[in-house]
Amino acid sequence: MYDVLLRDGGIAQVRPLRPEDRPSLHDLVERTSERSAFLRFFTGGRSTAHLYMDRITGDGYQGHATVALMKGRLVAVAEYIPSGHERADLAILIDDSAQGHGLGTLLLEHVALDAAEHGVRLLVAEVLPENRPMIRVLRDLGAEVVQRFDQGLVNVRIEAKPTTGLRDRIEQRDHEAERASLARVLHPSSVAVIGAGRDPSSVGHRVVRNLRDGGFAGPIHPINPRSDTCYPDLRSVPGPVDLAVIAVPARHVLDVARDCAEAQVAGLVVLSAGFAEAGNGGEAELLKICRTAGMRLIGPNCLGILNTAIGLNATFLPLEPAPGRVALMSQSGAVGAAILDRLPVSTFVSVGNKADVSGNDLLEYWEDDPDTDVIALYLESFGNPRKFLRIAGRVSAKKPILLVKSGRSDSGDRAVRSHTAAAATPDLAVDALVRASGVIRLDSVAELLDTARLLSSQPLPRGRRVAIIGNSGGPEAMAADACERHGLIVPELTSRKFKAAAGAALGNPVDLTAEAPAEQIGEAIETFAPEVDAVLVVYTPPFGSGLERTRQVIASCQVDVPVVACVIGHDGLIDGRVPSYAFPEQAVAALARAADYAESRGRVTAASLPEPNHAARDLVREALKTHPDGCWADPALTARLLSCYGVMVAETIGVDGPETAAEAAGLIGLPAVLKATGPVHKSDVGGVRLGLGTQEEVRQAYREMAASVPGMTGAIVQHQVPPGVEVIVGGVSYPAFGPLVMVGMGGVTADLLGDRVFRVPPLTRAEAIEMIGELRCAPLLYGYRGSAPADVEALADQVMRVSRLLDDLPEVAELDLNPIIVSPHGAAAVDVRIRLAPCEARPSPLLRHLR
């Protein structure tokens, strides 16, 4: 069953039809108007509808039906019934009271995607011409639609396949639903605080005080049955409640949540601790109550939420948040509080245990928030990494996303045995994820603060040229050195308009000497700014005009490039406009991140949506029937799987003895290569023999291997390909993150040199070529010291095809093509390994649902 967001922000549940749903279906028919029954069934009214509900819940039903529930009541049923080769008939019935929420469109999305998974290519709906709402829903789905009149009916034909058009429309609808669901939570009209009281030290009391002191204009309803200054319960509150902040002991939270559901509250912020973080139960039941009632849940075990634009301070923190342009989400309360104390924000959400609302939801909301220019996230875990990739990739093209992710440990799972799996630690998976989405990953909260100050207060640099202007040569030299380390350029400045005092150096850095007045520093900023892409002002107080006057002048400069200050020993914002850093290295690092983001902004593109490879999926399914706990695929299965995706592998013949090996060598061509099957790292145990020039040499090599190689189960024979550059292309799949594809220097030195790059599949050809170009060994492929350039396009094609395989087959736990021999004439894998493992079915990335 999936929890899904509706257009107005409500929540429904979508699941397959069950036989026990028959009474609920009859209730649905009874609530359906005669007109709605006629539009669905054409004749017979409700009597026909009742008969049909008996049919679809009976034993002989051949269709696939999906139902939707709202607030626990079945309100819709949609179905497709196979009616020919790769074709099915489509129909839907929705409760009159549930229409207008986007439920019909959402059900059609689920049905179409399910039909495509089952091999249906065409869905056909017969609709009465007067049923214009349904015709509009079918037409606007986003799939390829053909509409024509036929014998008094409108025949609507829908291509049941994932397309970029369908993806774009689904993402647009999902975005609108997410914003609607969080709007009443983050921008409420009224707030109830359940657990408020007279004790000034209590959490509920502090929340009420913060709401009042913060200037929240809407009604604030303190609730406590044991206090005569509060409402006794929600039923006593006049008017609707958008947001309920719960500050009661954990044992009472479920009952309070049920009361909120009855009162039709839009969202809960549960401050109470004592749930999953303490090893206790109840969190799943709390989420179920919220989802069934259509309420969003923040927490439990959180600090609360802030929205400075409306004076909403629904936290119990002892601070007055400063309004700013940064939206902040923190999974850690302590980290969130530390950042709030140092950074002006537009919105703050402490997600605590993250039972419902997560970073993905908040990204959707903040994408269009007019009060937010920068998004900052502190995460301890990803709830849905692949969804994060899709959402963040879109949002980061509009607004920078800063991420601090705790847990950079190298202690990945070493139980797996391939080269790729040993290299792909979970932290590398996070790096690949954020890089693919355009997110700026930072190592510390301090770096997040430094970068957020700059990006929220200054324009993006147009390039990497920096003018360094100041009154102290030593710190300016340190800034110049830091620029070089971070790939920023400190060019020679040419302007002759500026007249400096004796002893000043104007080349860049511009050292105006210690006693330079503030006005001279300001004049230098405005004079040299047109020659560069950013200005870094380095000032050491108290020299010149003193700290305050110099800060005023820096903030008043009128230039069209970003200005960053290093006021030695002082962090913060100057006049709310110019970011200031205590040390030059901080300022340069923040500026470099802004330049990197400006260069990469908008480069993230959504991958195409190829149709699933049903032949490959059938091969995997059959293999796992025989080996339900997983297995290393044998050479024949490996070759068949790779061929499904067009991956080029050197011609290979499996053999089981010296005679068949010699015969295979004669067929495949000499010189030949003999490789043992069984051991993972064959070369380590003498399981590879190259350059066998005769069939007798092949025969003898097999005998020697069989006598000395432990675990040998047979061998393969290949024709020895021409020499070239050895490259490894591989993949590994993590249950939490999904698949990663790797490219690196191959052969026996793959692990020793560690020259490799990871990405999240699927990849475009351009992304594959970019990966290859990042390798330290890349010059070997492009012609090194007179050698002929290798066929990089062929290698990129191999990488792209492997990425599609990994994206399509979640059961591929590990994959190694090591090495691929890349020559001027092509790129062929000469050694391949695939490990299959059972896993949960991964829903379509287009299937809308809450995690």
pLDDT in tens, 707-748: 999 989 999 999 988 889 999 999 999 877 889 999 999 877
pLDDT tens readout for residues 456-490: 999 999 999 999 999 999 999 999 999 999 999 99
Provide the phi-psi class of 826: left if phi over 0, else alpha when psi is between -120 and 50, else beta.
Answer: left
Q: Is residue 522 part of a domain?
A: yes
CA distances from 705 to 687, 699, 716 (A): 6, 10, 12
Residue 749 above 90 pLDDT? no
What mean pLDDT value characterizes the chain?
Answer: 91
Same domain for 227 and 156, yes or no, is: no
Residue 421 above 60 pLDDT? no
Q: Is residue 630 part of a domain?
A: yes
Same domain for 690 and 735, yes or no, is: no
Same domain for 69 and 194, yes or no, is: no
Can you read off the two tokens belonging to residue 57?
Answer: 């819940």
Q: Assign residue 244 the CATH number of its domain.
A: 3.40.50.720
Q: Assign residue 738 the CATH number of its domain.
A: 3.30.470.20
Split at pLDDT 50, 70, 90, the class of 283 is very high
Q: Is residue 216 part of a domain?
A: yes
pLDDT tens readout for residues 496-525: 778 777 778 888 999 999 999 999 999 999
**Full domain range(s) for residue 740:** 613-650+721-851
Q: Is residue 503 part of a domain?
A: yes
Query: Which of 399, 425, 440 finishes a domain?
Result: 399
Q: Which residue has the tokens 């301090």?
A: 446
Q: Assign residue 680 the CATH number of its domain.
A: 3.30.1490.20
Which is more confident, 588 or 85? 588
Estimate the crossing angle of helix 45-56 against helix 22-31, to 10 degrees: 160
Cβ atoms of 297 and 317 within 8 Å: the answer is no
Same domain for 710 and 851, yes or no, is: no
3-state class (DSSP) for residue 285: helix
Same domain for 739 and 851, yes or no, is: yes
Cβ atoms of 644 and 619 within 8 Å: the answer is yes
Can you read off the two tokens belonging to residue 202?
Answer: 């209590």
Query: How many domains is the chain partitioned into structurally?
Result: 5
pLDDT tens readout for residues 15-71: 999 999 999 999 999 998 888 888 888 877 788 889 999 999 998 899 999 999 999
Q: Is residue 850 part of a domain?
A: yes
pLDDT (average), residues 132-137:
90
> Cis bond leading into 671, ω under 30°?
yes
Query: Which of 399, 427, 451 finishes a domain?
Result: 399
Residue 417 above 50 pLDDT? no
Same domain for 381 and 505, yes or no, is: no
Q: Assign residue 521 the CATH number of its domain.
A: 3.40.50.261
User: Strands, DSSP E only, in 406-546?
Assistant: 440-442, 466-470, 510-511, 534-539
Split at pLDDT 50, 70, 90, the class of 420 is low
Q: CB within 8 A of 105, min separation 6: which ones? A: 7, 137, 140, 141, 173
Same domain for 629 and 660, yes or no, is: no
Which is more confident, 198 or 260? 260
Q: Residue count of the chain, please give it.
A: 851
pLDDT tens readout for residues 296-310: 999 999 999 999 999
pLDDT tens readout for residues 560-579: 999 999 999 999 999 989 99
Which is more confident, 421 or 55? 55
pLDDT (average), residues 82-109:
93
List, as one string, the DSSP characters of 714-733.
EEEEEEPPPP-EEEEEEEEE
Q: H/E element holding 66?
A: strand 64-70
Edge to edge, what strands does the sheet with 374-379 contain? Answer: 312-315, 304-307, 345-350, 323-330, 374-379, 401-405, 440-442
Q: Is residue 204 part of a domain?
A: yes
Same domain for 629 and 580, yes or no, is: no
**What is the pTM for the complete model shown?**
0.90
Same domain for 480 and 592, yes or no, is: yes
Cβ atoms of 25 and 57 within 8 Å: the answer is yes
Of these ranges, 277-286, 501-510, 815-824, the one predicted with the greatest mean pLDDT is 815-824
| Predicted local confidence at residue 415, as pLDDT | 35
Q: Which residue has the tokens 């550059």?
A: 725
| Predicted local confidence at residue 495, as pLDDT | 75
Query: Which of 399, 422, 437 finishes a domain?
Result: 399
d(CA 123, CA 111): 10
Q: Is residue 432 part of a domain?
A: no
Can you read off the two tokens belonging to residue 192?
Answer: 């109830």
Same domain for 216 and 364, yes or no, is: yes
User: Strands, DSSP E only, in 160-214?
Assistant: 191-194
Same domain for 205 and 334, yes or no, is: yes
DSSP 465: B
Same domain for 286 and 345, yes or no, is: yes
pLDDT tens readout for residues 326-354: 999 999 999 999 999 999 999 999 999 99
Percent of the chain exceeding pLDDT 70 equals 97
Q: Is residue 369 part of a domain?
A: yes
| Helical residues (DSSP H) of 277-372, grouped into ranges | 283-293, 333-340, 359-367
d(CA 115, CA 81): 9
